[in-house]
Amino acid sequence: MGDDANVIRTAERILAHDTPRMDGEVLSSFVAGFIAKRDTYIDLARQHGSPLYIIDENVLRDRARRFMATFQNRLKNVKFFYAMKSNNHPAISEFLIGQGLGLDVSSGEELKQAIALHAGEIIFSGPGKTPAELALAAHHASNVTVLIDSFGELERLEHAAAETGMRMWAGVRLTVDERGLWRKFGIPLAQLAEFIERAQNCRHVSFRGLQFHSSWNLHPGNQEAFIARLGEHIAKLSDDHKALIRFIDIGGGYWPPQGEWLQAAGTPEGRLRQDIEPGAENSPEHYCLSATPIEGFARRLSGALRAHIFPHVECAVYLEPGRWICNDAMHIMLTVIDKKADDLAITDGGGNAIGWERFETDYFPVINLSRPGTTERPCLILGSLCTPHDVWGYGYFGDALEPGDVLLIPTQGAYTYSLRQNFIKPLPAVAVLSVADDGNTHIIGRNGSGGDETSQET
3-state SS, residue 158: helix
CA distance 343 to 360: 17
Each residue's pLDDT tens digit, 118-160: 999 999 999 999 999 999 999 999 999 999 999 999 999 999 9
Phi-psi region of 327 (alpha: psi -120 to 50; beta: other; left: phi over 0): alpha
Each residue's pLDDT tens digit, 254-288: 999 999 999 988 888 888 887 777 766 667 789 99
Helix H or strand E segment including 105: strand 102-105
Each residue's pLDDT tens digit, 18-38: 899 999 999 999 999 999 999
Going along the chain from its start, the domains and CATH numbers come out as 20-54+329-457 (2.40.37.10), 58-327 (3.20.20.10)
CA dihedral 35, 38, 44, 49 (to 10 degrees): 70
- What pLDDT, on a 0 to 100 scale, did the predictor assign at position 436? 58
3-state SS, residue 315: coil
Each residue's pLDDT tens digit, 348-377: 999 999 999 999 999 999 999 999 999 999
3-state SS, residue 405: coil
Residue 43's identity, in one-letter code, is D
Rg (alpha carbons) of the chain, rounded to whole number: 24
pTM of the model: 0.93
